Structure 1
Amino acid sequence: MSKAGRPTVAVIGAGTIGLGWITLFLGHGLDVRVNSRRPEARSVVLQGLRTFVPTLPGGAALDPEELLERVTFEPDVARAVQDADVVQENAPEDLLLKQELYRLVGDAAPERALLLSSTSTLLPDAMGERMKDSGRLVVGHPFNSPHIIPLVEVVAGERTRPESVTEAVDFYRSVGRTPVVLRRPVARFVANRLQSALLQESIHLVREGVVTMEELDTVVTQSIGLRWATIGPFHAFHLGGGEGGLRKWLGRLGVGLENSWAELGSPRMTEETIDALGSEAERLFGGKGYAHLCLERDVRHRAVLDALAAVEAGGAERGSAA
């Protein structure tokens, strides 16, 4: 706990995901200790705050430079996690690197500290293989951008203590996230598996000349993307069945659905495919710059979340009035 009585979160890594976490934690009043070996880490974090803070709830009233006053920088991992209440790690997806990292973190962090990893592919037992006690190591996988998108996939290993999972869920809820605990570990978790399935067919349709990349993005944002911003696929297809619900929908279309799965494409990631897709993406998106595109994306995400929150609040008010 910091001298001001605020929880301290040690954020390991100041890349895209790390910067999003730093912004979120500061926006919720936490003190942040950044572990990064980059000599320009302070200016990188400040620039990240200037980009991301405006899209936090109430971000217009927050001053990035004032938030930066609650950030300390420590290039040594062991010193960075000393006295930390929470560690949020964002190192590259390299198992050997993470195993050595968690050996150091496990020895240096207080026993009370919650150890969280942003990994999108690795499991706690594997990452904690060299730790004396890996029972407090939990995956807390965000969906980019972590300061905007509410989802955090919480994944335990066989050695993870149940109370560590509970603490992880409570922590993420305290900073406005929506944690979902996976009932069993699965490679690449849930959100990325769903995203990968859609991307596979998207690439197939573009490469087959059915639609352009721009047209495919329009199809998604003007149909299923809009639908999924409000209800999930099972909920949507339950409504698609009318009064009979999902049971009726699957019973009527189940065989055809299986046939449609067999028709889905399996594009190969050849150099030609990568070059074609990369060139088209650069033509469509390359003129505005990465920071501008990120801000544009986050403003739209925030608008959707704010609109949904207003709908929920209106429903609660109507319910209490009734």
Structure 2
Amino acid sequence: MEFQHTACLGGGVIGASWAALFLASGRSVAMFDPDPAVETKVRSYIETAWPTMTQLGLTDHGSPDAISFHSSAVKAVEGAGFVQENVPERIQIKHETFAAIEPALMREAIVASSASGLTLSQMQPGWRDPSRFVLGHPFNPPHLIPLVEVVGNDQTAGGVVEAAQQFYESIGKTTIRLHKEVPGHVANRLQAAIWREAVHLVISGVASVEDVDKAVWSGPGLRWAAMGPTMLFNLGAGEGGLRAFCDHFSDTFNGWWDDLGQVYLTEDVTQRLASGVEAEARGMSPAELSQKRDALIVALQKSVADLR
């Protein structure tokens, strides 16, 4: 299932990023968003993203011009084999969108939602037949970060999750499959756990926002870009592997886990973090910081491409 014609519903940052990646892979894209300025915004996003994707070797077969814009979601999905839904994460909007597009979909089309805060089960009631609807949650920005979390359940038809994974992998993504629904899926929960302790370290006076961030990107974050934490700890004990690591460090980790902070994003905490980020940015604008982030991501991706 190559799905040569695709659709993106929602032209915000996530939808525009998905559209850029679909185009880069040689597919055509039909875009829907009610914003009158969506075409200008999305074309500008694609123009900015294209050189970056070219550096990663993703644009050899694609064209940034193979995109059309539509005034309704129904028109956008007509003839599309794969539909990536990115409308606002409010359940009523999701349900209304699904009910509207369902009669217009091709019989073999797959619809994947980018939702991060909603589960598949919460969204399925918007369908009469949810058998070809899956969750395909990316990590921002989708055209640069490979990860997609794919979720189906007992209402999903056989082979649909696998077909979605094959499609994503054909455009350069790395997929994981969740066997059980949980709020936030996998990566966001891991991210939330790390950030919770990062916030705790700041508000308890252990270190500044900048130094906590620095501790991540120059320390464990660099290793995590190579392998996940469990495999890295498996390697950390040499020939004894993970069992030896746990035998040696179980008391240490149990003590650390007992001491981890429980924090909430109150107004005071938010203000302290915002001040710390402002100091860390050293006058750079969000656009300049985003360019720096993307350049670093591209450099990392290129450096490990052959090793992967």
Give runs of aligned pairs for residues 100-249 of structure 1, distance below 5 A. 100-249=96-245
Tell me the TM-score normalised to structure 1 length: 0.90
Deviation at 1:283, TM superposition (A): 3.3
- 2:251 paired with 1:255: yes
- 2:285 paired with 1:284: no
Cα deviation per residue 1:265-307 (whole Å; 9 max; x = unaligned)?
1122211111111122233337332232222111111111111
List gaps (5 residues or longer) in structure 1.
Answer: 313-322
2:263: which partner in 1? 267
* Equivalent of residue 42 in structure 2, options 21, 42, 45: 45
C-alpha distance in structure 2 between counterparts of 1:147 and 1:190, whole Å: 20
C-alpha distance in structure 1 between counterparts of 2:246 and 2:221, whole Å: 22
Classify 1:6/1:129 alpha carbon distance in 2 versus 1 (closer, same or farther; 3 Å): closer
C-alpha distance in structure 1 between counterparts of 2:171 and 2:79, whole Å: 20
1:55: which partner in 2? 52
C-alpha distance in structure 1 between counterparts of 2:66 and 2:56, whole Å: 16
3-state SS of 1:250 partner: helix
Residues 21 and 171 in structure 2, CA contact (< 8 A), matched pair in contact too:
yes
Q: Which has the higher contact order (CA 8 A, sep 6+)?
A: 2
3-state SS of 1:129 partner: helix
Query: What's the % identity of the aligned pairs?
Result: 36
Give runs of aligned pairs for residues 29-40 of structure 1, distance below 5 A. 29-40=26-37
Once superposed, what is the RMSD of the aligned Cα atoms? 2.1
Q: Which amino acid aligns with 2:13?
A: T
Cα deviation per residue 1:157-187 (whole Å; 9 max; x = unaligned)?
2201121101101110111101111122111
- 2:78 paired with 1:79: no
Residues 24 and 64 in structure 2, CA contact (< 8 A), matched pair in contact too:
no
- Stretch moving more, 46-55 or 282-291: 282-291
Classify 1:150/1:13 alpha carbon distance in 2 versus 1 (closer, same or farther; 3 Å): same
Classify 1:172/1:60 alpha carbon distance in 2 versus 1 (closer, same or farther; 3 Å): closer
C-alpha distance in structure 2 between counterparts of 1:150 and 1:174, whole Å: 12
Q: Which amino acid aligns with 1:209?
A: G
C-alpha distance in structure 1 between counterparts of 2:264 and 2:65, whole Å: 48
Residues 47 and 64 in structure 2, CA contact (< 8 A), matched pair in contact too:
no
C-alpha distance in structure 2 between counterparts of 1:154 and 1:59, whole Å: 24
Count of aligned positions: 307
Tell me the TM-score normalised to structure 2 length: 0.94
Q: Which amino acid aligns with 1:25?
A: F
Deviation at 1:191, TM superposition (A): 0.4
C-alpha distance in structure 2 between counterparts of 1:98 and 1:49, whole Å: 25
* Equivalent of residue 12 in structure 1, options 9, 15, 33: 9
C-alpha distance in structure 2 between counterparts of 1:107 and 1:206, whole Å: 52
C-alpha distance in structure 2 between counterparts of 1:15 and 1:76, whole Å: 16
- 2:95 paired with 1:95: no
C-alpha distance in structure 2 between counterparts of 1:272 and 1:167, whole Å: 46
Cα deviation per residue 1:200-247 (whole Å; 9 max; x = unaligned)?
000000111211111111111111011001111011101111221110
Cα deviation per residue 1:79-110 (whole Å; 9 max; x = unaligned)?
11111111100112111211111111222211
Residues 123 and 157 in structure 1, CA contact (< 8 A), matched pair in contact too:
no
Q: Which amino acid aligns with 2:49?
A: F
1:23: which partner in 2? 20
3-state SS of 2:252 partner: helix
3-state SS of 2:226 partner: coil
Q: Which amino acid aligns with 1:240?
A: G
